[in-house]
Structure 1
Amino acid sequence: MGILERIGEIEREIARTQKNKATEYHLGVLKAKLAKYRTQLLEPQGKKGEKGEGFDVMKSGDARVALIGFPSVGKSTLLSTLTNTQSVAASYEFTTLTCIPGVIEYKGANIQLLDLPGIIEGASQGKGRGRQVIAVARTADLVIMMVDVTKGEVQKELLTAELEAVGIRLNKKKPGIYFKQKKAGGIKFNATCTLTKVDEKMVQMILHEYKIFNAEVIFREDCTSDELIDVISGNRVYMPCLYVYNKIDQVSIEEVDRVAHIENSVVVSCNMKLNLDFLLDQTWEELSLLRIYTKKPGRAPDFSDPIILRGGASVEHVCHSIHRSIVAVFKYALVWGKSTKFNPQRVGIHHIMCDEDVIQIVSKK
């Protein structure tokens, strides 16, 4: 029996098994088996070079955004509108057959936007070049999931399920579970909170399914068996996602208003160029990029060429982005902006920066 047949058999068994106290251990083991087979399907063992096949697009710019969706939802039109790259757009499906990169120049940052071929149902099992599309999506900093507003929530649910099947978790944070495999000592289980979804027996059964008999597991949150499986697998990617509903010119204003109020959603019309500015603003927010301006002693700040860094960056990251030798001679920095209590404030190398801060670095004599 092949991997696809085994996955189908387990999925059918999960679907027909009633969820109650008596079956929760059985379901936990089935989910662990399913995750194991899906990992094997995504990363086939065998000839060298098979693992992680993709479109091999070189990463460039300050951040990478993957544009995914079903065929003919307007991905290529959006890429052509937001960037200077022309992606062929037509009224038939599968117009785009490979990954087309473009660059959005926004607020001084270069954001790489990847127009990926349309995904079809069953992409996680390799249908319609789905495996290559997903391999590229895993390397992105943000996923923009484009759906046709006239198709309702069906496309969104199907795409989310396909990405979930290959270990991409959208708009979720890493589970609060500490897991470390050991060479001896058996399974040590502990929890810092009351657990309502799993217990020690289920944890042991799931670990045994993975042939793990010596490990330390600490639950810091009330997590589910699915989240435990994610932690054990260790290959899950947690990333933000914006749901972009295109073709709003084809539905009523009441429907547009309803969709616009869904969490992490943006409504646009690529053909009529409606609401694209708000989409760029939301993309910037989700990427958590910072613009840091530099200042030389006795001169005004240089607002023409900001240093672009990721959220949570410190003065040390600013120094490295200017030149790697600066940290060795760093004495202190003067910072103006939202990250300080007063302007200018003298700070050390571990001070966390905010967007649009101005920094002057003072070196040792």
Structure 2
Amino acid sequence: MTTVQKIKEIEDEMVSATDLGSDAVLSIAGQEYVLVRSTSRQLKAKLAKLRRELLGPTGGGGGWGPRIRCRKNRYSYRGFVGFPSVGKSTLMSKLTGTHSETSEIDFTTLTTVPGTLKVHGAPIQILDLPGIIEGANDGRGRGRQVIAVARTCNLIFIVLDVLKPLGDKKLIETELEGFGIRLNKKPPAILVRKKDKGGIAITNTVPLTNIDQDEIKAVLSEYKINNADIAIRQPNATADDLVDVIEGNRVYIPALYVLNKIDAISIEELDLLYKIPMSVPISSREWMNIDELIEKMWETLNLVRVYTKPRGLAPDYSSPVVLRRGKCTVEDFCSSIHKEIAKQMKYAIVWARVQSMREGRKSG
């Protein structure tokens, strides 16, 4: 039985367990219902372990087949993800000036097409990825290769057809979630520390509303973890959050939902689209609302520009060094240019608007 078949079998079993649980609420004692819920959590843990096998090739052999390769620059990636023929390539070509094949047929883009967009003087690298289809995370089409590249991005543009945004949004989120990508989420505030003995010790600084201690132990048992300290500091933590922490291979990436082809809808329909969180309605063909998309991208990336100033000369405003807010120390700045600079530097002079300061390498 293949991994995909095993996943399908467990998903069917989870549906059966859920149905049994809802019947048990009405007709069986509470203790028996807890056992059904616990079984469901164990199935989720098994499902997560099988999903992990799809994250990469195991053992020797051919792996995933032909890979989608691209070279990463120091500004990292922003990738367009979406179903075929939603306008990704048209938007990419107009934003960056890079030719990305476009047509009315599906799967025109067959490999990753990189391009660079300058925003506030800073170069931002963008990737046009091949279209994915439902079942991509299980290996259909080139979905696994496409999503593997998406895991390396620090911002994902999910491009949707404005005529069917919600259905496609849900399908793409499901595909990315199944491949370990968590969109617009922060890592769970859960600590799992394995130890040699002492059993399972669970502490929580917030009430456990969506998971209880029996369910926590059931998930740990599935991973053969019999001795560990578990600290939960996240409100409304779930068994899925615990599985994500145990697996340790999840990536948490911000996403913007780009609702394309707004030239085909009315103003009233456009007002409704703005209610979708983290969304920007545009028309890549008519070049409508692109400025808002670019500004929203810059805001979501949370970037800052740092300019160099040669001794005795004016600052060089033509080529800023781009850093992420929260990682703006002198050492971060030096490492973004070349790792050897940070090792050799003694101090730096930093100008913050109207005043200058002499800073050490750890200073922000």
TM-score by length of 2: 0.89
SS of the residue 1:29 aligns to: helix
CA spacing shift, 1:92–1:163, aligned 2, 3 Å:
same
- Where do residues 88-167 of structure 1 align in structure 2 (5 Å cutoff)? 88-167=101-180
The match for 1:75 among 84, 88, 94 is 88
Aligned mates of 1:134, 1:53 — CA distance in 2: 14
SS at match of 1:147: strand
Unaligned runs of 5+ in 2: 26-32
Number of the residue aligned with 2:54: 41
1:272 aligns with 2:273: no
Aligned to 1:26: 39
Correspondence for 1:15:
15
2:245 is the alignment partner of 1:231: yes
* Correspondence for 1:179 among 168, 192, 210: 192
C-alpha deviation, 1:280, in angstroms = 1.3
Q: Deviations over 1:43-95 (max 9, x none)?
A: 34232562797302111251201111001000110111111211110011111
Identity over aligned pairs, percent? 46
Aligned mates of 1:114, 1:97 — CA distance in 2: 13
> Which sits farther off after the overlay, 30-39 or 108-117?
108-117
> Which of 206, 214, 238 is the aligned partner of 2:219?
206
Aligned length in residues = 348
Q: Distance in 1 between matches of 2:65 and 2:125?
A: 21
Q: In the alignment, what sits opposite 1:308? A: 322
Alignment CA distance shift 1:122-1:74 (3 Å): same
Match of residue 195 from structure 1 = 208
- Contact in 2 for aligned 1:108/1:306 (Cα 8 Å): yes
Counterpart-to-counterpart distance in 2, 1:167 and 1:137: 11
Q: Which moved more, 1:217-226 or 1:44-53?
A: 44-53
Q: Which shows bigger deviation, 45-54 or 157-166?
A: 45-54
Shift of 1:148: 0.1
Q: Distance in 2 between matches of 1:52 and 1:290?
A: 39
CA–CA distance in structure 1, aligned partners of residues 335 and 73 of structure 2: 18
Residue aligning to 1:335: 351
Which string of whole-angstrom CA distances, capped at 9 and with x for unpartnered residues, describes residues 236-261 of structure 1?
01000000000001111111122123
- Whether the 8 Å CA contact 2:122–2:319 is kept in 1: the answer is no
Distance apart, 1:304 and its partner CA: 2.1
Q: Are 1:63 and 1:287, in contact at CA under 8 Å, matched by a contact in 2?
A: no
Q: 1:260 aligns with which of 274, 278, 298?
A: 274
**Greater helix content:** 2
| Alpha-carbon displacement from aligned partner over 1:83-123 (angstroms, at most 9, x marks no partner) | 12111100111111111111212222222211111111111
After superposition, the C-alpha distances for 1:195-244 in whole angstroms (9 at most, x for unaligned) are: 12222221111011112222221111131111000000111010000000
User: 2:342–2:361: 8 Å Cα contact kept in structure 1?
Assistant: no
Preserved CA contact (<8 Å) 1:188 1:216: yes
CA distance, structure 1, for counterparts of residue 160 and residue 124 of structure 2: 21
| Counterpart for residue 349 of structure 1 | 361
1:320: which partner in 2? 335
Larger mean CA deviation between 38-47 and 263-272 belongs to: 38-47
1:171 and 1:216 mapped to 2: Cα distance?
A: 28
Structure 1 vs Structure 2 CA RMSD: 2.1
Alpha-carbon separation, structure 2, partners of 1:294 and 1:60: 19
Segment drifting more, 181-190 vs 139-148: 181-190
Is the contact made by 1:103 and 1:111 (CA closer than 8 Å) also made in structure 2? Answer: yes
SS at match of 1:271: coil
What is the rounded CA distance, in whole Å, between the counterparts of 2:271 and 2:92 in structure 1? 25
| Residue identity in the other structure for 2:214 | K
Partner of 1:289: 303
Aligned-residue offset at 1:297: 5.0
Distance 2:126 2:341 in 1: 32
Q: Which moved more, 1:46-55 or 1:283-292?
A: 46-55
Letter in 2 for 1:4: V
Q: Structure 1 residues 54, 207: CA separation in 2 closer, same or farther (over 3 Å shift)?
A: farther
Structure 1 336/346 Cα, relative in aligned 2: closer, same or farther at 3 Å?
same
